[in-house]
């Protein structure tokens, strides 16, 4: 703990943490400090880590049970670990658009931990956007309009045969979502269960419409929110190199993997943290 240091990287969100080796079995006090940094900064970064898939799984499990993706096959020995790969000849990248991981599930993931195995010499950064900052910047009138609204989320577009993510089948084991997906309602304004901060919880990849509204009625409001939520003042940008780790809070953060490195290979590994089961009652949808 005495060596742990935290440095902010942007105004709205993001901090880099040094002085910790994530491959080790860390004491509870260090895990608590990392969790608090995640709550304070929404996305946290680590450099110069050396993680095997098993070590990444072990670190992720300190924060909750790990998700097994319904459409992307994990590693044979570690099904919780998704390998995110873009080969030099690929035109489409995985995660190439603003989104919040797993919002299409009935109980969405709370966080994602991405580890860089191989990175291009140039390009391949990831953008992050604070949806808490986006909510704070809304007018009181629009906040009142959004209060109590829910939205329908689904993987039906993104993992359909022509969807962006489904097009990665050549270099990643991705299944089409046709016939498998459901539609789930989540609050448009999510109150963070750990710090009480409000954040917008809609995203262009998985939010279909406002619940109880027609798609045509929903579109103007969602289009406005999507444009507002990516405002540069709410964002930070992370430049990857091998051994880098990013850990972000899906309850209040969008991210966007930039596709600006054609001809180069990029290999990442991701584990996704689910909420812990609620004691004595059903878990909330979000």
Cite the active site residues. 99, 101, 255, 270
Give CA torsion, residues 131, 113, 165, 286, to 10 deg. -50
Helix (H, G, I), strand (E, B), or coil: what is residue 223?
helix
113 - beta bridge partners?
247, 271
Helix (H, G, I), strand (E, B), or coil: what is residue 240?
coil
245-249/235-238 β-pairing: unpaired
Alpha carbon distance 275, 273 (integer Å): 7
Those residues whose C-beta lies under 8 Å from the C-beta of residue 255, and which sit 6 or more positions away, are: 43, 95, 98, 99, 100, 101, 126, 127, 128, 129, 248
Instruction: Give the angle 222-225-227 at the CA atoms, nearest 5°.
Output: 110
């Amino acid at each position: 703990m005495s060596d742990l240091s935290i440095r902010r990287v942007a105004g709205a969100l993001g901090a880099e943490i040094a002085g910790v080796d994530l491959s080790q079995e860390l004491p509870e006090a260090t895990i608590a400090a990392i969790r608090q940094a995640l709550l304070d900064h929404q996305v946290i970064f680590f450099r110069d880590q050396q993680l095997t898939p098993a070590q990444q799984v072990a670190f992720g499990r300190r924060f909750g049970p790990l998700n097994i993706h319904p459409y992307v096959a994990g590693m044979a020995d570690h099904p919780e670990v998704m390998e995110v790969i873009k080969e030099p000849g690929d035109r489409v990248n995985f995660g190439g658009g603003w989104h919040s991981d797993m919002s299409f599930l009935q109980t969405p993931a709370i966080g994602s931990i991405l580890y860089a195995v191989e990175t291009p010499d140039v390009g391949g950064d990831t953008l992050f956007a604070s949806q808490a900052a986006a909510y704070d910047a809304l007018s009181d009138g629009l906040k009142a309009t959004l209060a109590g609204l829910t939205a329908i989320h689904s993987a039906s577009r993104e993992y359909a045969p022509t969807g962006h993510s489904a097009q990665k089948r050549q270099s990643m084991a991705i299944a089409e979502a046709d016939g498998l997906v459901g539609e789930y309602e989540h609050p448009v304004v999510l109150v963070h269960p750990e710090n009480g901060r409000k954040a917008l919880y809609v995203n262009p990849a998985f939010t279909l419409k406002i619940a109880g509204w027609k798609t045509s009625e929903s579109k103007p409001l969602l289009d406005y929110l999507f444009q507002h939520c990516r405002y540069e003042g709410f964002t930070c940008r992370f430049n990857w190199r091998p051994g880098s780790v990013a850990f972000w809070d899906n309850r209040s953060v969008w991210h966007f993997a930039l596709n600006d490195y054609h001809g180069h290979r990029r290999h990442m590994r991701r584990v996704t943290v689910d909420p812990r089961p609620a004691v004595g009652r059903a878990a909330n949808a979000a």
